[in-house]
Amino acid sequence: MQPNSTIQNLRIKGASLDHKDFNDHINLCGGVYVGGDGVNAVNILNCEIFGFSQAGIWKNFDSDLLNISNCYIHKVKGRSRYGIGYGAWFMSEKGPLVQEVNISNTIFDDCKAAIDGQAHIVDWNINNCTLSQFFQSEDINTHNDNRFEMADCPCSGAQLPSYLNHWPYSYSTGAFYGKYWSSAFLCMPDCQGNPFYSIPGQGFGNLTGGANLAYYTNLGANEIPIHDVGGSVTSIQNSIFHKKWGLGVNGNINLSYPNLDDVTSNMNGDPANNVNISNNTFATEHFEKTEVLTTNPYNNSGYAKIANNYIEAEIWADDDDHIKFADNSFSYQPGATVVSTAPQPHELSLELNDGTNALPTSYSLSPFSGHKYIQYVDVNTAFNLEASITNASISAESYYIIRPNPNTNGVSSTSEAHVISNENYFFDSEEKLNGSTVTKSITYNKPGLYGIDVMGFDAHDYGTADYDFRASSWQHIPVIVKGTQEQMLYFNIKDSYHIAGAAVTGVKKQAYFNKLLIWEEDIAEGGEGWELVEIDLTGLAANGTTNILDSIHTDGTENTLSFSIFMNYSTSNGTAFSGVQVYVDDIYIPRTGSITGDNLVKDGSVELSKENLCPECYWFQNLASQSTGDCGNTSVSINSIERKSGNQSLYLEIPFEVKGCTFTNSINKVVASLGTYIDFTDLLSCDDYWNWTSSNVGFELYPPTGVTTPYKKKILHSKSYYYW
C-alpha cells in the first residue's frame, strides 16, 4: 500500500496457518505491505488478517502515517533465524520528521508478538485494543533505535569499539540492569565469528553502583549509559491484555527508553518524548518493585518494562515526565471487576445441551470453570453450544467466534495407517454468529476428546465506525465424544516440519505404552495440520508382533503413556530439521465399562496442568534433556505455541543453532519424551484377566499348572485376582 490509500472490509488469509520454524526459513509470507514515501495516511480498516509467517501488516521505514482500526489480526506465528511472527511490524525513519502509527479497537490474537518494530523517530498510539492470551514473546515490543547501541565488532586490544552511543541517564536512587563494556569480559567475536582474546567485552549487571562504568569517561555523577533507547511518544491506553505473565519471564509490554536527544546531536529526539501506559486491564499480577528487583533476571519482568527494567522500578521514580503509568487494573480473570478507569472485558456464558437438557457429565475433571466434570455425548450425535455475553450493555451487539475444532477431514496418502483424519485446522467448522444468545449445532463423527473455543465481543457501531470490541479471552469447554469400542487410544498430534515433497528424515513422532512403541510417523509424513491417531490397545504394537496389552505392568509398577521424538542421524539431513517442534493435544482413553465415557488420561485436554512438568504433576518429563551433539539439548514442556483446542498442549523440541551444527549424538534413539501415568485396572476388562480359556495379561487359573509354591505368578481364583 502507498500513502493516500485505504483497504477496508476485507478478509485476508495467508498461506502459513502453522507455527513457522527454522526449516525452509527463506520462504515466508506476509499480509499487507505498507511502503512509499509520503505524509498522506495509509488506512487499514475493518479487516481480518491471518495465516502469515512474517507479519500480518509490515510497515516499511518510509511511510509517515498509518492508521489501523477495527481489525482482527491473528495466527501469525514463527521463530527463525530472523525476526518473524508479528501481528504488525513497524519500521520508521531516523527523522527529522516524526512518523505516526495509530492502532484503535483492534483484536490481536495468537502471534509471536502482537506489535513490534524498530523504534526510530515514530509515535505509537495504541488505544482500545484487545490482546488475547496467546503470545510467545512480549505482547508489544520495541527494538532500540540502532544509533543507540553497543557495537558487536570490530574491537581489538584494550580499546573500545569504534562507536559507543548511549543515553546518559541521570538517576537519584534505585538499580538499573543493563549491558556495559567491562575489562572482566573478553570482547565479542568479530563479524566473521573469529574469537578475540582481548578486552573489553560486553557485560551485564547493575550499572548504578558505578564500578562497572570505568570505560565511560563521558558520564557525569549519578549517570548511567542506556543503550536501549528509541521512539518518540508511545501511548498505550484503554486496552485489554489477557496474557498472564509471571515473575522472572517476559511481560506484556517492553519498550525502549524514549529518545530525548535533541536535533543538534543528529539523533532527532525531543526532551518532551515519553511513554504512557495508563487505564489498561491486565491479567498479569501487579508485582511490587521489590519483588521484581530480587527475581532473576533482575528488574526484567512485570506487566511493562522500559529498557528491560520494570516500569515501576525505583530507577524511574524521578522521571515522571518521560515514564508515565496510572490507573491500570491487574490480575483480571473472567468474573473479576476491574477498576472503573480501565476497560471491563466482555465475559461469556457457555453451555452444552441436547436441545432441552444439559449434556450429562462424566467423572473426568473439567478445566472449564462452569463445570466440575467434562460433559459427554455419543459419537455422531448432534448437540448444541449456547453462548451469551453476560455483561453486555443494552445497546451492545454481541458477536461470537466459535471453533468446534472437529476432525472431519480425510487422510492423505502419506499418513501412517493409524491416522484417521489429518490436515485439521482451527477454522474447520468455525462460525461467526451474532445475537444476545446464540446456538450452534455441533456433531463429531469420530470418538475422542474435543474442545470448543469461543471469543465474544461487542460489534455495535456507537458512531461513525466507532466500535468498542472489549473482547473476552478465549474460553474453552471440553466434551468427550463416546464411541462404542473400548480399550482405544485417541490423540491429536502435529509437527512444525513443512517442507513440501521432502523425503523421510529419520526423525519421528512416537507414542509408547511403557517401553513398547505403539505408533510412529516420520515428520515428513502426515501433512501440515493436526492428525487424529486411533490405536486399538488390544491390537499389535508398532513392531507388528507384540500385543500391546502384554506391556501392561500388573505388579504395582506404574504404567506410562508417553509421546516422544526419535532421531536417526544416519538417515537424516541434520540441517533440514533442526528446531522442529512436535505438539500433542486432546488425548483420550475411554475407561472400560464406563457408561459416562470417563477418560483414563487424567489431563487429556492438557488444560488442568501448569506449564511446568514434575513427577507429581499430571504430565512429567519422561527422559532427561538429551544432548544431540553440538546443536544443544532437546526440551519438553507444556505451552501455548500450538493447540488443537484450548490454551496449551504438550510440546517437544529439537534444538537449533544459527551456525551450522550436527546431531552426532542422535543415532537411533529417543531424544525427547514426556508422559503420564495410566491406571491399568480401569483399562482392562474382566475377560482380559480370564476369558474362561486364557488371559490377555498373563494370569493363570488357580491352581497354576505344575506349580506347588507360586512365586511371582499372577493367579486367578474364581474371578478374584491375586498377585503372589
The tens digit of pLDDT for each residue in 30-53 reads 999 999 988 899 999 999 999 999
Residue 90 pLDDT class (50, 70, 90 cuts): very high
C-alpha dist (Å) from residue 363 to 367, 591, 601: 13, 10, 12
pLDDT value at position 659? 57
* All cell numbers assigned to 224: 548511567
Q: Tell me the CA distances in angstroms from 108 to 86, 145, 157, one per residue in order.
A: 10, 25, 48
606 within 8 A of 613, measured Cβ to Cβ? no
- Whole-number pLDDT of residue 198: 64
| pLDDT at 195 exceeding the cut of 80 | no
CA distance 312 to 290: 10
Q: DSSP secondary-structure letter at 314?
A: G
The closest of 575, 597, 577 to 588, measured between CA atoms, is 597
What is the distance between the alpha carbons of residues 104 and 127, in angstroms, rounded to a whole number? 5
Q: Which residues contact 113 (CB under 8 A, 6 or more apart)?
A: 85, 86, 87, 135, 136, 137, 138, 139, 140, 141
Q: What percent of the chain has pLDDT over 90?
A: 67
| pLDDT single digits (tens) 120-134 | 899 999 999 999 999
Strands annotated E in 133-176: 140-141, 167-170
Q: Give the lowest-confidence range in 157-161, 304-308, 422-426, 477-481.
A: 157-161
Between β-strands 177-182 and 304-306, what pairing exists: parallel, antiparallel or unpaired? unpaired
> Which grid coordinates belong to 339?
477498576
Mean pLDDT of the residues in the chain:
89
pLDDT at 502: 77
- Is residue 531 within 8 A of residue 587, CB to CB? The reply is no
Give residue 192's pLDDT band: very low, low, confident or very high (50, 70, 90).
low
pLDDT tens column, 198-227 = 667 778 899 997 677 877 878 888 899 999
Calculate mean pLDDT across residues 647-659. Answer: 85
Do residues 218 and 164 lie in contact, with contact meaning Cβ atoms separated by under 8 Å?
A: no
Backbone angles phi, psi at 465, to 5 degrees: 55, 40
- Of residues 611 and 324, which shows the higher confidence score? 324
Least confident interval from 383-392, 487-496, 655-664, 708-717: 708-717
**Per-residue pLDDT at 306:** 97
Give the H/E segment covering residue 562.
strand 559-567
- Under the banding of pLDDT at 50, 70 and 90, the label for residue 721 is very low
Q: Is the pTM of this model over 0.85?
A: yes
The model's confidence at residue 604, banded by pLDDT at 50, 70 and 90, is very high
Flag whether pLDDT at 303 surpasses 80: yes
Per-residue pLDDT, averaged over 662-668, amounts to 77
State residue 624's pLDDT score: 84
State the chain's maximal CA–CA distance in angstroms.
101
pLDDT digits (tens, 9 = 90+) for 372-410: 999 999 999 999 999 999 999 999 999 999 999 999 998
Amino acid at 10: L
Question: 722 falls in which pLDDT band (50, 70, 90)?
Answer: very low
61 is written with which cell numbers? 521505514
Gap between the Cα atoms of 33 and 559, Å rounded: 53
Least confident of 129-143, 145-159, 472-486, 570-584: 145-159
Mean pLDDT of 506-510: 94
Residue 196 has pLDDT above 70, yes or no: no
Query: Strand 122-127 vs strand 233-237: parallel, antiparallel, or unpaired?
Result: parallel
